[in-house]
Structure 1
Amino acid sequence: MSQVNILCIKWGKKYGPDYVNKLYNMVSRNLTLPFRFICLTDDAEGIDASKVEVKDIPKVGFADFDNREPWSFGHGWLKVTSFADPLYDLTGPTLFIDLDVVIVGNIDCFFEPEGEFRVIKEWDKKDETGNTSVYRFNIGAHADLIENLKNNKDKVLASVRNEQEYVTSYLNKQGKLQYWPAGWCVSFKRHCMPKGIMSFFKPATIPEGAKIVAFHGKPNPPDAILGVSGKWYRRVLPVQWVADLWR
């Protein structure tokens, strides 16, 4: 296969530049295909520009996004800018990966299944909603969803809770939505943590066949390394494999 793109986005202060640099390192260890690694961001300080192509979060012709209206910062909405056309000089197959993940296996396979848009099936919902922690698309192929949001903002925001509900429901209506095979992308909280009281005695484990572990909500990877749950009702013992792989 010819060169592919790995794309991430960082805005605000929730995640530091170390998340970007470690994501690059994890990709470089687990992807054998030639790749470009691009980070869209509003703050490039601390990102290793010798490895990462650092670019501004693009203007998309929608004032709410281009002027950074407050709502556009919440619930992942700025990720919609990844669908801009053009997106700098990028072309071709692109794997978007959230910053709060740990890559635990080879990810060449994410470029193998056919389909216009591949995404995680949201673990906690029975409808079509996908989890956009990891999705694959061709650059510029879905710019119409930005235009639709621009022209129908109030209607869209009244009908969905977040960016991933909008993106995946919109593409599902077009017949373009497909999911990764079950087990490739897993949730740290739902699939790695022991159930119930066993979390007091056993650390989290990597499910067989998993490629990417998503740390949505709390804990984040550095919390898991230290054994900090971030929630009073959840016990997390220190997780050595996160320390070994998130670097």
Structure 2
Amino acid sequence: MTAESKPAQPAPSDRVILCMKWGTKYGPEYVNRLYAMVRRHLKGEFRFVCLTDRSEGIRAEVQCLPIPALALPPGSPERGWTKLTTFEADLHGLQGTALFLDLDVVIVDDITPFFEVPGEFLIIHDWKRPWRITGNSSVYRFTLGAHADVLAKFRREFDAIRGQFRNEQAYLSDEMQRKGVLTYWDAAWCASYKYHCIPTWPSNYWREPVIPKGARILIFHGVMNPPDALAGRSNGNWRHARPATWIAQHWRE
């Protein structure tokens, strides 16, 4: 590939890290530690934005902005639908390339390549049922304002969409596939703590979880979060795990 044909890369000032915190499930320490992990593992400058309804205790380097209203009917199951508001046509005037990260991820290696790999929309390919197109939205990248139609359609047809799709990542993957822009990260980059770090039975009872080769971000889906993994709490998870003492080296300010 010649220099002229290489895809344009976002300037450091155009890189936005997005996260979202609503309610009380996650405290401000999750945002603060996520910022610190990004700062250690992303080369160059970036803007770190937390869309939130509670900014108390969040460090000053993080720009806290309101979560756009989704206007779900009262009592509707949330199921991650709020994440779709990242696709507002004008998200508080933010511009550039956004990398969305769930609050409970653990970054263990350089994430600069997440901004360098070509693609219009990138997401994790779900590990549990790889024959489906559904992505895991713990880590996804897009151009801010570029896919406002996805959010507009959800607001317009939310009853039908919520009847067809179980959660936001299923709907989002389907829409991006229809648009012809659905692309997945390198399979090694985003590893599931549950599936890839915990040793298989029965060695999980005496072997400590490990960081898989090539992993850059560890994803905590289900009932276990980083402090649970650190302490060896299964919280009812289907697989017992010993304490992952190395979590403390990464999940910190």
Shorter-chain TM-score tier: over 0.9
Match of 2:220 among 212, 215, 221: 215
**Following superposition of structure 1 onto structure 2, how do residues 83-232 of structure 1 map, counting pairs within 5 Å?**
83-125=87-129, 126-231=131-236
**What is the DSSP-based 3-state SS (H/G/I as helix, E as strand, rest coil) of the residue aligned with 2:162?**
helix
2: CA distance, partners of 1:143 / 1:69: 24
Q: Closer, same or farther in 2 for the Cα pair 1:140/1:69, shift >3 Å? A: farther
2: CA distance, partners of 1:14 / 1:85: 28
2: CA distance, partners of 1:176 / 1:168: 10
Does 1:19 pair with 2:30? yes
Match of 1:55 among 40, 65, 68: 65
Indicate conservation of the 8 Å contact 2:224/2:237, yes or no. no
TM-score (norm 2): 0.92
Does 1:80 pair with 2:84? yes
Query: In the alignment, what sits opposite 1:8?
Result: 19
Q: CA RMSD in A?
A: 1.3
2: CA distance, partners of 1:170 / 1:232: 31
User: 1:217: how far off?
Assistant: 1.3
Indicate conservation of the 8 Å contact 2:30/2:104, yes or no. yes
Aligned length: 240
Cα deviations by residue, 1:19-76 (Å, 9 ceiling, x for unpaired):
000000000000012100000001111111x1100111023xx532xxx74326x211
Q: Percent identity?
A: 46
Cα deviations by residue, 1:111-145 (Å, 9 ceiling, x for unpaired):
11111100000111211101000000010011101
User: 1:233: how far off?
Assistant: 4.4
TM-score (norm 1): 0.94
One-letter code aligned to 1:43: R
2: CA distance, partners of 1:207 / 1:71: 37
**What is the DSSP-based 3-state SS (H/G/I as helix, E as strand, rest coil) of the residue aligned with 1:71?**
coil
Report runs of 4+ in structure 1 exceeding 4 Å deviation. Answer: none
Cα deviations by residue, 1:161-188 (Å, 9 ceiling, x for unpaired):
0000001101101101100011100100
User: 1:84: how far off?
Assistant: 0.7
2: CA distance, partners of 1:199 / 1:218: 17
2: CA distance, partners of 1:51 / 1:69: 34
